[in-house]
Structure 1
């Protein structure tokens, strides 16, 4: 058996190359282990978009933290899975915060609102409800844009998303909200 036929030796060599700053080693690790990272993220988070974001974040973090890779303490795959678990936890934390913020906004809308029956109060509650139904990351982007009054550049930086993705979420989210609100209006007028 040749030394290079041993997957453990080959993985250790790949890890050593990455630690030394070899970008091709990162590309090889991505080819080998991105499907594993994607599967773990998809099962944990449930959306393809979030899973793809996690994969990207894991390999960026792997490159930035390549000095922490210790082949003598475990395989590169295990190291990548560890990074993935941290990123998945970050996404879950962000989801929880978004849900909590929307709940707080709904509570605030109720406590600041005029008596039930006031159309502004009802519209505000409806907006909060529709945003919550929309799910992340689109709901977070719209909340930041229209409730927190942040620019799309600020949102992109805060969420670590490309600006084009933020713009797409705003555009599609507004179309989705418009359609939902039209449907509510149609049903209530019948």
Structure 2
């Protein structure tokens, strides 16, 4: 998360394990990365639990937790103890990061739904239209460029209309793994389809 982690500063957490909240806040605001480590150690579970409950996904919750503490560290000058305690401030940041994650998820889902409706579910009689054929070729080509696991998950979702739970049952992969492959594949597909030439072909 920070250079503290990279340089092994987390080994000093024990030095602050018995520190009271006020001491942790003082060290944190002073820019001591070992105090950031201690703050993360003390309140990371709180942030993660909030993210996990809201997002329903451990990996996304872990990502959000890291973003929260990174944002807190970078924006620590904006924390005013007189206006509230540090855990409450972290929760406030967490709620914003969770909202961002949910918005990003919604955008991905909307994009894929629109792409699926446009590219894969053409109305009867439209299959022979040149633009429809091009759409299918573009999507098939982009899917073929994905890593095998991501491609398999998206093919099962697109073409077989399976839910992520059904895909997990079929493949034997953990649900979290399926979600991860889907999320990464969709991100890559969305990024590629979002390029001007791809949009022009799919219009």
Work out whether residues 112 and 190 of structure 2, in 8 Å CA contact, stay in contact via their aligned partners in 1.
no
C-alpha spacing 1:102/1:21, structure 2 compared with 1 (3 Å): same
Counterpart for residue 29 of structure 1: 39
Counterpart for residue 192 of structure 2: 149
Pair 1:45-2:55 in alignment: yes
Distance 1:92 1:81 in 2: 16
Gaps of 5+ in 1: 1-6, 151-190
Distance 1:95 1:57 in 2: 16
Q: Secondary structure at the match of 1:149?
A: helix
CA RMSD of aligned residues (A): 3.3
Where relative contact order (Cα < 8 A, 6+ residues apart) is larger, the structure is: 2
Deviation (angstroms), 1:148:
4.2
- 1:150-169: CA deviation from partner (whole Å, max 9, x where unpaired): 8xxxxxxxxxxxxxxxxxxx
After TM superposition, the runs of 4+ consecutive aligned structure 1 residues lying more than 6 A away are 123-126
Distance 1:62 1:143 in 2: 29
Distance 1:148 1:130 in 2: 23
User: Structure 2 matches for 1:60-79, cutoff 5 A?
Assistant: 60-79=70-89
Pair 1:16-2:26 in alignment: yes
Gaps of 5+ in 2: 1-17, 141-154, 165-177, 194-203
User: Structure 2 matches for 1:71-110, cutoff 5 A?
Assistant: 71-109=81-119, 110=121
